[in-house]
A and B are shown apart, each in its own frame.
Chain A
């Protein structure tokens, strides 16, 4: 081998040298391009790298009642998070971290694993709303566990035990789904926004504008210095039309029951109280709702997340007879109609029973109202026909959304011939009209709708839009999108509404359907209703199961003339309207008691409770005359603000 002197081609070796030169020229060009031609751009990029914008979270506005008492507040809370410093073995520290934060070490490891694929700059949130001793643990272990850090966030503090939960709603992190909707387009992922109720409806007012802090950081996101800060603009506080005192009374009335209560000022449409049962605790959502808890809420057959005041669509039962009476009066039929109730009557070849098996005997409109005679209204319905019933019902806002300033209101159903053809491609059968006459059959209303119709009747035809926030109380610059100040006039013959409301005031008298709900000294006009949710025959088949019990309804207002409060009670499974009436009068009594204590009506005022001497004006039910008198009243101690406790706060 040594003898072989044949050399490798010199040309090829030289070519190889030139190729190497070529490679170096390309690399030198690369350096020239980055370091000389574009160095300014990269210098800026390097600067940007070091500067991180950390949001300073703006607290949401408080929610107050009509008298400025705090219903929803914020409380400062801290979350524990892990900065993923690559020089630390997070898994090795997991045991200590888990111990200090009272977490399961396996859970911590799972979280670390779960975040392994996520970008480095994203911290791992370990625990939200940590307690003081957990915070102390993090402080004390700054050197051993440099990756463990805290961040401050104001959290919502809602009243306890689901008080007012449906009306207020709750907040949550904005979902991807929401970000796609036009009204949320200005929000960023991670923003906390209202998800339901007032929190959602007035989110733009309640939500502040986050500030930012310009921090100098290293690639692990650890802060090395601060360059500047823009302050957060806190959200505006929102005053509701709700009166906490009345809300408490309504919540107490419905405690342990299913259903809804709404009270409204019929002159303005201001909602004074709104309760739906069963309820949920929004504080559970303010931190993070666990999957189990959420599933429980969503699958509960009683639908605790549903605001029944605006989302339940049910047969109104006998309360519908008031609407029937107005329709009948306007058509000049009801005032002259006389029937003989024998406990039932036959229409279109089918027998329709009256709820009083023995019959009411001779019945006119007045007796038909306070005795709730079914046969009278069967007859009236037959004479009116479905389209005339639908006409007046629609005028009174039934089967439509009321326009209340709360999200996800439903419209209910007010049947008509046209409705049946449109939805079922079927002709309306005259026999169906008979059931509608007593608020059964196809008719399905929401409590708020029914209350609004009754309010309009009580006001002689002036119909308002119910609302929970007075537009004038909205923060400056807030653009209101609803039309809650609009009123419409429903033509109702003054003699008609006097007659009908007078008849309604006898409902709570001994001759009426709910004498047990009578409250001395308060002039309440109302109407009870008991609505079947299935036919009586079906119910008998299920051995009178509780689940199929009738819904108790009550609509009413006080005083009978120039009312200042109207109420609607839905007592699901309440079996009889008079039980609903008792709940209603409980709330109305609380309202009237409070009115009579107001400073301008008070002779003597006591802050810490005790007895006061006072005077009042009222209309006597029998004489229609204004009467005046004096009496003494025992005052409770001033109620405390409700927002006093939440998880993590002693």
Chain B
């Protein structure tokens, strides 16, 4: 069947938009890190993007059906790697998130687990026959996501753990979620947040995490902590105005880590409302193009995989941009494709590789 697969069917338009976003990201990384100890990061970012594009092409060649058929092995490997992090992981900044690899590199399994979860959830719902989600399917699908999520939460890495949620949510929604189940999720979420915050005996969230999650509502309560970051971010965005400005927040180092989590704030400060809206529009186009690919996917599983990618990407944008404009707490979630960082870039291109993979096989049947 490989004769049906050709790069002519590759989504070149999507790639163009994605690379435009990456280009703006590289530009902003250059601007924000100039004259700091991170100078030159943009060059590294270009390498990451190139590596990502390469991996995207590679993964698009492997038939996703084969991956889906072996997904239980991948899933087991994912859980094992997360446990390994907890046992053998390197401790940095108070959290065990990395495994030291031979050769001095650090491997952060929680990023790759995201990809495996997308496939696992897709596989689960694709195999489901009925139109409406039964309560037992609901529980099982929830468990698929919750087990790795709890392991990541234990590291502790709240931000990454939260990014697993939209995968489950999107899968359930498309898989025929009933309104009662939606209500149950909502209640569960409210109760979970309530317990995590207000019952002192429950240690799901650490004190600093609670503070980080609440201080965005009142930045002045903690002017130098995470509330400080949100405040500085809002000042950066706001002072950008309609057309953008000098960027004193970014260049005076008031904006924390402007090349990673707060890159959108740095961009908004320098390019104003017009520039920021332009970037949002690019993301929107990418997401719409992805959903279109989901609709034309050759099978249920393909749709679920692409929509899983859509869910993760949307969630990242919502939480990151929401944080930058002061709507959301600081959770340490980067803006995909723009933020500096190898793990984030490679994950995004691998996910896009899966999408391409599915698209290239849309006429296979």
**Which residues of A are in contact with B by a Cβ distance under 8 Å?**
1-2, 4-10, 12-13, 15-17, 20-21, 23-24, 26-28, 30-36, 38-39, 41-43, 45-47, 49-50, 86-87, 119-121, 217-220
Asked if B235 is at the interface (CB within 8 A of a chain A CB), the reply is yes
| Contacts known (A20-B310, A35-B238, A39-B238); A27 close to B252, Cβ less than 8 A | no
| Contacts known (A10-B295, A23-B318); A34 close to B234, Cβ less than 8 A | yes
Chain B residue with Cβ nearest A38: B238
Instruction: Report the bound CA distance from A38 to B131 in whole Å.
Output: 48
Task: Give, as a whole number of angstroms, the nearest-CB distance from A306 to chain B.
Answer: 42
Assess the A34–B277 pair: CB atoms within 8 A: no
Q: List 11 A-B contacts (CB under 8 A).
A: A5-B365, A7-B300, A8-B174, A13-B294, A17-B291, A23-B317, A27-B318, A30-B327, A31-B237, A39-B241, A41-B238
Assess the A87–B287 pair: CB atoms within 8 A: no
| Contacts known (A7-B303, A46-B236, A87-B37); A30 close to B325, Cβ less than 8 A | yes
Residues of B within 8 A of A15 (CB): 173
Assess the A35–B235 pair: CB atoms within 8 A: no
| Contacts known (A17-B288, A45-B238, A50-B248); A12 close to B272, Cβ less than 8 A | no
**B 272-316 contacts with A by CB, 8 A:** 272-273, 276-277, 280, 283-284, 287-288, 291, 294-295, 299-301, 303-304, 307, 310, 314
- Choose from B170, B176, B253, B276 the contact partner of A31 (Cβ within 8 Å): B276
Assess the B291–A16 pair: CB atoms within 8 A: yes
- Choose from B240, B314, B326 the contact partner of A23 (Cβ within 8 Å): B314
Assess the A35–B237 pair: CB atoms within 8 A: yes
Assess the B299–A1 pair: CB atoms within 8 A: yes
Asked if B322 is at the interface (CB within 8 A of a chain A CB), the reply is yes
Assess the A31–B36 pair: CB atoms within 8 A: no
Task: Give, as a whole number of angstroms, the nearest-CB distance from A9 to chain B.
Answer: 7
Asked if B192 is at the interface (CB within 8 A of a chain A CB), the reply is no
A-B pairs, top 5 by smallest CB distance, nearest first, are: A42-B238, A30-B325, A119-B224, A46-B239, A35-B273
| Contacts known (A28-B280, A50-B248); A220 close to B253, Cβ less than 8 A | yes
- Choose from B36, B174, B248, B277 the contact partner of A49 (Cβ within 8 Å): B248
Task: Give, as a whole number of angstroms, the nearest-CB distance from B55 to chain A.
Answer: 26
Residues of A within 8 A of B321 (CB): 27, 30
Instruction: Report the bound CA distance from A4 to B303 in whole Å.
Output: 13
Assess the B238–A24 pair: CB atoms within 8 A: no
Assess the B235–A31 pair: CB atoms within 8 A: no
Instruction: Report the bound CA distance from A5 to B291 in whole Å.
Output: 18
Task: Give, as a whole number of angstroms, the nearest-CB distance from B129 to chain A.
Answer: 8
Assess the A13–B295 pair: CB atoms within 8 A: yes
Instruction: Report the bound CA distance from A120 to B253 in whole Å.
Output: 12
Decide if the interface of chain B is mainly helix, strand, loop or mixed.
helix
| Contacts known (A16-B173, A36-B273); A1 close to B252, Cβ less than 8 A | no
Chain B residue with Cβ nearest A6: B300
Task: Give, as a whole number of angstroms, the nearest-CB distance from A32 to chain B.
Answer: 7
Asked if B17 is at the interface (CB within 8 A of a chain A CB), the reply is no
Asked if B249 is at the interface (CB within 8 A of a chain A CB), the reply is yes
Residues of A within 8 A of B314 (CB): 20, 23
Which among A24, A34, A121 has the greatest number of chain B C-beta atoms within 10 A? A34
Instruction: Report the bound CA distance from A15 to B174 in whole Å.
Output: 10
Residues of A within 8 A of B239 (CB): 39, 42-43, 45-46
Chain A residue with Cβ nearest B287: A20
Task: Give, as a whole number of angstroms, the nearest-CB distance from B315 to chain A.
Answer: 9
Assess the B307–A4 pair: CB atoms within 8 A: no
Instruction: Report the bound CA distance from A19 to B115 in whole Å.
Output: 22
Given A13-B303, A31-B268, A38-B238, 19 more A-B residue pairs with CB atoms under 8 Å apart are: A1-B65, A4-B126, A4-B300, A5-B365, A13-B294, A13-B307, A23-B317, A24-B283, A26-B327, A27-B318, A30-B322, A31-B325, A34-B234, A42-B237, A43-B245, A46-B238, A49-B252, A218-B253, A219-B252
Task: Give, as a whole number of angstroms, the nearest-CB distance from A90 to chain B.
Answer: 14
Instruction: Report the bound CA distance from A20 to B365 in whole Å.
Output: 30
- Choose from A12, A21, A49, A87 the contact partner of B249 (Cβ within 8 Å): A49
Instruction: Report the bound CA distance from A217 to B248 in whole Å.
Output: 10
Instruction: Report the bound CA distance from A251 to B303 in whole Å.
Output: 97
Instruction: Report the bound CA distance from A46 to B239 in whole Å.
Output: 7
Chain A residue with Cβ nearest B177: A12
Residues of B within 8 A of A38 (CB): 238
Chain B residue with Cβ nearest A88: B37
**B 226-246 contacts with A by CB, 8 A:** 232, 234-242, 245
Chain A residue with Cβ nearest B291: A17
Q: Residues 97-133 of chain B: 1 if any A CB is under 8 Å from the residue's CB, otherwise 0?
A: 0000000000000000000000000000010000100
Asked if B223 is at the interface (CB within 8 A of a chain A CB), the reply is yes
Residues of B within 8 A of A39 (CB): 238-242
Residues of A within 8 A of B75 (CB): none
Assess the A34–B242 pair: CB atoms within 8 A: no
Chain B residue with Cβ nearest A39: B241
Chain A residue with Cβ nearest B327: A30
Task: Give, as a whole number of angstroms, the nearest-CB distance from A11 to chain B.
Answer: 10
Assess the B327–A35 pair: CB atoms within 8 A: no
